[in-house]
Structure 1
């Protein structure tokens, strides 16, 4: 049986951690929650999703560190350069991997489709695009 193609490549800032994605799911969001803002050092974090079987680390897995917040969410980063790599919701069943789109080296055809947790957004940032805006998650 032929190995699955993994056309999308990404890495942390220092390049010690690399990963590949076979298929990126269509739900991509700009998360404005205060924890994502602090973790990414930006007005929001842009996250993509892949089914767990469509995402793999190719180097540097031993360099991964995870921070678990009081609310049970997990954020994974490179222990050397601090690059924000993964997000995991507290109710995750592990079937999806949420990853920071900013760490991709490959171009993708998909675009983010929503702003989420906007009730917590930075007061100095103004959303100026036409994407749907959700005060909490996509179901709010």
Structure 2
């Protein structure tokens, strides 16, 4: 099994995971939309034994949403989403956008679709560009 490295935008926080992700969810809940500033988060779940910090663990800030098992972890320097240990300590939640390579596991589902942003529902029907449009 190969390893996949990842980092925050400024690369002060770096990590490595074995490509043994067990879950991959696209979460549309209201809290995840607010944390990401986007339509959803793309989170991978991996057992802690297959994950390690390479640098910058001391730069990780964490906010646990009251009365919910939702956490926002981010780099104190650049604000990028970074991995965190779940409240149950069963999983390390890894933001897929922070990976430098694609994991073998593909997204399995969209969750909390009852909270999906109205403007996102017909997203595949709009124009797509390989770069910023002219």
The two structures have a TM-score, normalised by structure 1, of: 0.79
In terms of fraction of residues, the more helix-rich structure is 2
Secondary structure of residue in 2 paired with 1:28: strand
Does the 8 Å CA contact 1:52/1:96 hold for their aligned counterparts? yes
After superposition, give the CA deviation of every residue in 1:24-63 in whole Å (9 maximum; x if it has no partner): 3232010001111111111000000110111111100110
Hey, what does 1:136 align to over in structure 2? Answer: none
Match of 1:107 in 2: 102
**Matches of residues 64-79 of structure 1 in structure 2 within 5 Å?**
64-72=60-68, 73-79=70-76
SS in 2 for 1:112: coil
Cα RMSD (Å) = 2.0
Structure-2 residue corresponding to 1:29: 25
Distance, in Å, in 1 between the alignment partners of 2:10 and 2:74 is 12
Does residue 85 of structure 2 align to residue 95 of structure 1? Answer: no
Aligned residues: 123
Q: Which runs of 5+ in 1 are unaligned?
A: 130-140
Runs of 4+ in 1 over 6 A off after TM superposition: none
Q: Answer 1 or 2: higher relative contact order, Cα 8 Å, separation at least 6.
A: 2
* Cα deviations by residue, 1:121-140 (Å, 9 ceiling, x for unpaired): 111101678xxxxxxxxxxx
